[in-house]
Every structure is written in C-alpha cells, then in structure tokens.
Amino acid sequence: MLEQLDSIYAQALDELSDITTGDALSGWERRYLGKKGEVTQLLRSTGKLPKEERAAFGQRANVIKNELIGAFAGREEAIRQHELATQLEEGALDVTLPGRPVQTGGLHPATQTLREFYAVWAEMGFQVFRSRDVEDDETNFTLLNMPPHHPARDMWDTFYTTTPGVILRTHTSPGQIRAMHELGEDGTQPIRVILPGMCYRYEQISARSEVQFNQVEGLAVGRNIRLTDLKGTIAEFARRMYGEDKRVRFRGSYFPFTEPSMEVDVECILCGGEGCGVCKYTGWLEIAGCGMVHPIVLHNGGYDPTEWSGFAFGMGPERMTMLKHGIQDIRYFWGNDLRFLEQF
C-alpha cells in the first residue's frame, strides 16, 4: 500500500502542474483530497494493514496529504495571479476606478436619545436599573396604587398573555417597586435610579401612537426629599439636556402612583418660546410627567412612608426625538425603513 500511496502522490503532482483553470483545479481537489478522494480513501483504509505497518503508513500518508494541500494552495494562487494579469492586460480591470463605499451601521435615533438621557442622569448621580418587559398585573397596577377595578387602569390599554395575571408592562413604573425591593435593603437604603425600557400598549397604531415605545422612568427615595428637590432636579436635567438658558414650567396633573403629580414643560427647543408649529404656538413642549412617590407605593416598596419620601418621573425618548428632528409620524421608528434610519 505504501507504493500505491507514492504513485498516487507522483500522479497528483504531475496532473497539478498542467492545470491552468479554477474549474480544473476544483476537479483535481475533489479527486485527490475530497471526502471520496484517493488520498482520503487510502488514509481510511489504514486499519486494514497489519498492526506493525500502520504507524509508518499513517505517517507517510499524512505527510503526502499535507504536501498536496500545500501544492494545491500554491497552484490556486498562481492561477489567480495569472487571471488578474490577463484582465489588466485586456483592460477589463481598471485599477484607477474609485472603490465602492463600505456601508456602516448606526445607532437607532431612539437609542441615540436614550444614551443622551443616560449620560445626563449619570452625571447627576442616577444609576441605570433594568426591569422586566413581562410583568405581573400586581406589580404593574395594584402595587402602584391601582387595585383591580380602579378607574385609572383605563389610562392604559393592556396586552394580556394567556397566563392569567401575566401582562406586558404598560409603563416602566412597575420597575420602581422592583428597584425599591432590590436596592432598598428592606427600606433602609436611599435610591437614585433611572429605569429605561420598552413599554407595550394595545392601541390603534397611528402617526401619534404605537403599540411599543421606550420610556425612561426615574426614582429617588431618601429621607427629607421634598417637592423642591424634584423641581430642582428636573429643571437641572432640562438645562443640561436642552441648554443653560431654557426655562421650565410645572403644571398640576394626576397619576395614581404620585401625590402631588405634575407635568413638565420646557421652552420650545425649536423656536425658543416664540411659538411654532411643533409647539403648537404655545412656546412650550411637554417633556415629562412626575410627582412625589405616593405613600402607598413607598409602603409597597418596603419603606416606611412616615420616615422616607421620594420623587419619580417619566419621559418618552421617541417623543423627544420627534420634537428635536421634526419627525411627524411615530410609525417610522419601528418600521425598519433604512431611508428613515440612515438620516441619523
């Protein structure tokens, strides 16, 4: 069998030296080195040899196989060089043509705004706390001061799952309860977190509403936190995010999990308060909802509301991106249309 091996080797090398095309080269590779190739078959039959001959044969066969692989690569490169040279000579290959631009990916516009939010809130001492997208009814509603049949539940159209009591979160606020339990150490430690994430609502999709969108929730719990702390913090955020000279105003509002509750407007970032189409000629843009954490919510998070207090806020990064870039239709965000995404 050793002689057979050597003669296959000699024959293979001989044939290889005559090959000038890629197709013929592939045929040669199949014939000698492929799964059913001659060298491979011989290697497989090593087991049929008497024991004392096996080692020597196996060694020799492996050497020959590697030699052939090396020769094949050398021939392949020579053919490629030859083809290139021919193309150049014939003028088929114009090496002076400019190259094609390489396409690079980019960050989604909502992600860009989210990252700006993270950076500003991190500077102000808020860490990111990630909560879950799939929630239970209890944490999404009941523990946030909305027991079953509470009329405020109507504010959110909910996606229910086939498992009773398991829903897709309608807002990031249930993360407040989870953050208090995970970071509060049984209501003994202060907290400063932002809770970013996707929320889901069973709504008619239109230019103004989507079934999924990001929210950035914020929560601070501590001793002696007051409404003035909330106002100062939000105003400072607006200055860092939208400019030193931007004025902020607070309007009374209602959320079941905060008391008192407010909505926050910042001077229009496009017209500077003069009035334009984006701010509907009011000079103000709504940027957040906020309030002092309701004592019932603090209690449900493990804190004693007679000793601890806190504030919470929520913002919509897609809405902010729309205002900033004058985007008229929220459906663009999750439509995966590159013509839209490539603009950012």
Q: Min. distance of Cβ 245 from Zn ion in angstroms?
A: 15
Q: Is 271 in the site for Zn ion (CB under 5 A)?
A: yes
Residue with the two structure tokens 């860490």: 127
Q: Is 39 in the site for Zn ion (CB under 5 A)?
A: no
| Strand pairing class (127-128; 134-136) | unpaired
Q: Is 268 in the site for Zn ion (CB under 5 A)?
A: yes
Stretch near Zn ion under the rule CB under 5 A, chosen from 11-19, 112-120, 138-146, 270-278? 270-278
Q: Is 143 in the site for Zn ion (CB under 5 A)?
A: no
Q: Min. distance of Cβ 235 from Zn ion in angstroms?
A: 19
User: What is the x/- site pattern for Zn ion, positions 215-254, by CB under 5 A?
Assistant: ----------------------------------------
Stretch near Zn ion under the rule CB under 5 A, chosen from 49-57, 236-244, 268-276, 325-333? 268-276
Q: How far apart are CA 251 and CA 263, in angstroms?
A: 5
Q: How far apart are CA 107 and CA 109, in angstroms?
A: 6
Choice between 187 and 283, CB closer to Zn ion? 283
Number of residues that bind Zn ion (CB under 5 A): 5
Task: Give the footprint of Zn ion on residues 275-314 (CB under 5 A).
Answer: 276, 279
Q: Min. distance of Cβ 143 from Zn ion in angstroms?
A: 39
Stretch near Zn ion under the rule CB under 5 A, chosen from 46-54, 83-91, 240-248, 272-280? 272-280
Read off φ and ψ for residue 17, nearest 5 degrees: -65, -20
Choice between 227 and 276, CB closer to Zn ion? 276
Choice between 173 and 321, CB closer to Zn ion? 321
Q: Min. distance of Cβ 265 from Zn ion in angstroms?
A: 11
- By beta carbon distance, the residue nearest Zn ion is 268
Side-chain-side CA neighbours of 218 within 13 Å: the count stands at: 25
Q: Residues with Cβ < 8 Å from 4, sequence gap 6 or more?
A: 42
Q: Is 266 in the site for Zn ion (CB under 5 A)?
A: no
Residue with the two structure tokens 């066969």: 61
Stretch near Zn ion under the rule CB under 5 A, chosen from 8-16, 135-143, 262-270, 311-319? 262-270
- In Å, what is the CA distance from 150 to each residue of 156, 170, 277, 295, 344? 12, 15, 37, 17, 42
Q: Min. distance of Cβ 244 from Zn ion in angstroms?
A: 18
Choice between 226 and 280, CB closer to Zn ion? 280
Q: Min. distance of Cβ 242 from Zn ion in angstroms?
A: 12
Q: How many CB atoms lie within 10 A of CB 159?
A: 16
Q: Min. distance of Cβ 120 from Zn ion in angstroms?
A: 22
Q: Min. distance of Cβ 189 from Zn ion in angstroms?
A: 42
Choice between 137 and 265, CB closer to Zn ion? 265
Choice between 248 and 298, CB closer to Zn ion? 248
Stretch near Zn ion under the rule CB under 5 A, chosen from 50-58, 79-87, 197-205, 265-273? 265-273
Choice between 202 and 281, CB closer to Zn ion? 281
Which chain residues interact with Zn ion by CB under 5 A? 268, 270-271, 276, 279
